[in-house]
Structure 1
Amino acid sequence: MILLAIDTASALCAACVYDSDADRELGRSVLDLGKGHAEHLMAVVDEALAQAAVGFDALGRIVVSVGPGSFTGVRVGVATARGFALALNIPAVGVTTLEAVAAETRQSFAGKRIMVTLDGGRGEINVGFFDETGDQVGKPLVTNLDEAARLATAHDGVIAGSAAAMVAGAADRTFPTGSTGATADICVYARLGAAKAVGEKPKPLYLREADAKPQAGFVLPRIQS
């Protein structure tokens, strides 16, 4: 099966075309943007397809990063993936950034328990636990640095993700450390997405509420007739 993987959950705007039967990446394009995913994603996808020398009609599945990560970036990626899936009449599956970072870390720490810690900003840490077989343990959560350090000490395994150094510092100890990015390589998403069963349409994974909220003070009162 040929699939397209998309990741816009962090500063990267990434896409790759992957052949799951051959376990081979056919083409990729990755930009380190920070912001502006919506303006650049289609060009990134086009470049990945061009490198792979395939068209949209060759795709059998869309894989997309569903977060946690940038609220805007995640929405852009998920909306694009669902749009492709609808237009091409093929399934779309979601892969979390926590799953991807854990999978990337397992390449160096096979058979180890992994705690993924992603910096959510504003003192928040997104956390996910994975057992020795790679399965996620419990639900992902958002917490503060001190609690993340306590959890890491209790977990006493490999830690990974963009907040790994902060968590280790707060715990005042050294941990085996895996991938320390805010996301994983785009091909990791492709491999994970290829192995997933098709289920519900992908949707963003938000562990806290969005910063932007309706301004209730500007709501006009209803006129009673």
Structure 2
Amino acid sequence: MLLAIDTSANLCAVCVWEGNAALASITEDIGTGHAEHLMGMIDEVLAQAEATYGDLSRIGVVIGPGSFTGVRVGVSSARGLALALSIPAVGVTTLEALAAEARAAGAAHPTLAVIDARRDQFYSALYDEHGSELLRPAVLDIENTTSRLPAGDLVLTGSGASVFADRLGHSGLGSGATASIDTYARLAAAKAVVAEKPKPLYLRGADAKPQASFVLPSREG
């Protein structure tokens, strides 16, 4: 049984996943304050799934890119739970999840997942029709993002998709800054467990200082 956590954007979302389906999930549009809401939501989703912390065998967490503080809250919480429960934690990026949703919706070409990062920049990564990464995640302005794209048809998804659709003339799928929590849970359940613990994928510095109570430890416990 897997617990998935997403605090990468304005949403705070959790899901209990087993096999190929969600047993329970909760998504709330809270804007900010993920640290204050997350643990209560985890308790609630476990109760809805009629499960306990002891039933969990894996934690899946969204590692960004996205809100600096939100990502830090989610990753720190996932790592703390994994340590306390002696179970593995795996990370999923917002970009790979958005691309996965595009493929599930019928995208038959390489998919550019692109999120508005403000400051006239965009987080982006390119994936092929099978989900393999063609271009690694980066934060660039629109000119430098488009200059690294290959020729040929693309599908665009994410909160920046409409901007790039106008520029490139490719099809765009309406989407936000993050995927559904069920998508993250499905991807996390399928990932191989590695020794390295999930780390935030920031791509650039923070706009504001993170909450001190959610600073990652300097060495492994």
TM-score scaled to structure 1, two decimals? 0.87
Kindly indicate whether residue 77 of structure 2 is the aligned counterpart of residue 83 of structure 1. no
Is the alpha carbon distance of 1:212 and 1:30 closer, same or farther for their aligned partners in structure 2, counting shifts above 3 Å?
closer
SS in structure 2 at match of 1:46: helix
SS in structure 1 at match of 2:35: helix
**1:151-185 CA distance string (max 9 Å, x none):** 5684531011000012223x1x5322235110000
Conserved 8 A contact 1:100-1:192: yes
Q: Please tell me the residue identity of whatever aligns with 1:195.
A: A
**For the residues of structure 2 that align with 1:97 and 1:79, how far apart are their CA atoms?**
17
**For the residues of structure 1 that align with 2:152 and 2:90, how far apart are their CA atoms?**
30
Q: Please tell me the residue identity of whatever aligns with 1:3.
A: L
What does residue 188 of structure 1 align with?
183
Q: Please tell me the residue identity of whatever aligns with 2:56.
A: L
**For the residues of structure 1 that align with 2:174 and 2:101, how far apart are their CA atoms?**
7
Structure 1: gaps spanning 5 or more residues: 214-225
What's the offset of the Cα at 1:148? 3.0
Match of 2:169 among 153, 170, 174: 174
What's the offset of the Cα at 1:51? 1.1
Superposed counterparts of 1:42-121, under 5 Å:
42-121=39-118
Q: Please tell me the residue identity of whatever aligns with 1:5.
A: A
What does residue 203 of structure 1 align with?
199
Which of these two proteins has the greater Rg computed from alpha carbons?
Answer: 1
Provide the aligned C-alpha RMSD in A. 1.6
SS in structure 2 at match of 1:40: helix
**For the residues of structure 2 that align with 1:113 and 1:211, how far apart are their CA atoms?**
32
What does residue 139 of structure 1 align with?
136
TM-score scaled to structure 2, two decimals? 0.89
**1:176-223 CA distance string (max 9 Å, x none):** 22351100000100110011111110000011122347xxxxxxxxxx
Conserved 8 A contact 2:6-2:61: yes
Conserved 8 A contact 1:17-1:52: yes
Number of residue equivalences:
208
What's the offset of the Cα at 1:111? 3.8
Conserved 8 A contact 1:115-1:155: no
Conserved 8 A contact 1:17-1:27: yes
Kindly indicate whether residue 157 of structure 2 is the aligned counterpart of residue 160 of structure 1. yes
Q: Which moved more, 1:62-71 or 1:200-209?
A: 200-209
Conserved 8 A contact 1:152-1:159: no
Conserved 8 A contact 1:92-1:198: yes
Dislocated runs of 4+, deviation >6 Å:
none
